[in-house]
Amino acid sequence: MEIKVLRNVLEANDAIAAENRRLLRGKGIHTLNLIASPGAGKTTLLERTIEALKDHLRMGVIEGDIAGSADAERIGRHGVPVVQINTGGDCHLNASMVRSALESLPLDGIELLFVENVGNLVCPAGFDIGEDAKVVILSVAEGDDKPQKYPLIFERASAMVLNKIDLLGMVDFDLDRARSAARATHPDLPIFELSARSGQGMEGWLDWIRSKVRRHENS
C-alpha cells in the first residue's frame, strides 16, 4: 500500500511539474534547481552568481526553506524578484509549491530562474519541480564521501559545484576521491571547483550558466 501511495504522489507531482515546465519554457525561462545540504553555501553562491550576471541576464529566484525568510531577504537585496516558500516541515519543494510561487513572479521579465531548494541531499533529488536542470552543491567542509552516500542526486544532476575550496588544507577532504565518486554514478558530470566567498574559480560556473541560457534561447 505504501508503495502505491508513493507512486500516486510522484505521478501527481510529475504532472504538475510538466505543466510548470511548459509554462516556463513557453516564457523562454531557463530554470536551475539548486540542491545541497544545509551549510554548503548555496545562498552565498547564488548571491555571487546574481551579482556577476545581473547586468546581462534578467533573473528571478524561488527560495525554499522549512521556516523563515532570511535567505529570501539576502537575495532581495541584490535587486532581483524573489519568492519565499516555507514548507512547514517538508524536506523538499514539490511541483505544486513551485507552481504557486510562479504566480507571484514577473515571468515575462525573467530569462533565468533559480530555485534554491530546502537544504537536503535526499528528498529534493526525487521530486521534479519543472526545472531544466538540477545542480548539486557540495562543500569541502562536508566530507568527500557524500557522492557515495547520496548517489541519486549526483546521478540526476546536470552539474556539480564543489564549494569552499578556500578551506582545502584546513579540513580532511580528498578532491580526487570526491570527483571519482561523483563520476562513478555520472561519468560526464561537469564539476566546478570554486569558492563563492573569495570568487576563486567562479568563471567556469558562470560560463556554464551562460551557455545553458544561450542553448535554451536557441532551442
Calpha distance 169→52 (Å, rounded): 28
Which pLDDT does position 3 carry in this prediction?
56
Note whether 153 and 181 are within 8 A (CB).
no
| Predicted TM-score (pTM) of this structure | 0.95
Q: What is the dihedral of CA 78, 82, 87, 88, to 10 degrees?
A: 70
DSSP annotation of 107: G
pLDDT at 6: 54
Low pLDDT (below 50) residues in the chain? 5
Residue recorded with cell 501527481: 12
* CB environment 46-84: b (16+ within 10 A), e (fewer): bbbbbebbeeebbbbbbbbbeeeeebbeebbebebbbbb
Domains and CATH numbers, the chain: 2-218 (3.40.50.300)
What is the tens place of the pLDDT at every residue in 139-157? 999 999 999 999 999 999 9
- Cell reading at 215: 542553448
- Residue-level pLDDT at 8: 73
Cα distance between residue 17 and residue 31, in whole Å: 12
pLDDT of the residue at 217:
79
Contact predicate 111/81, CB 8 Å: no
Identify the pLDDT of residue 215.
86
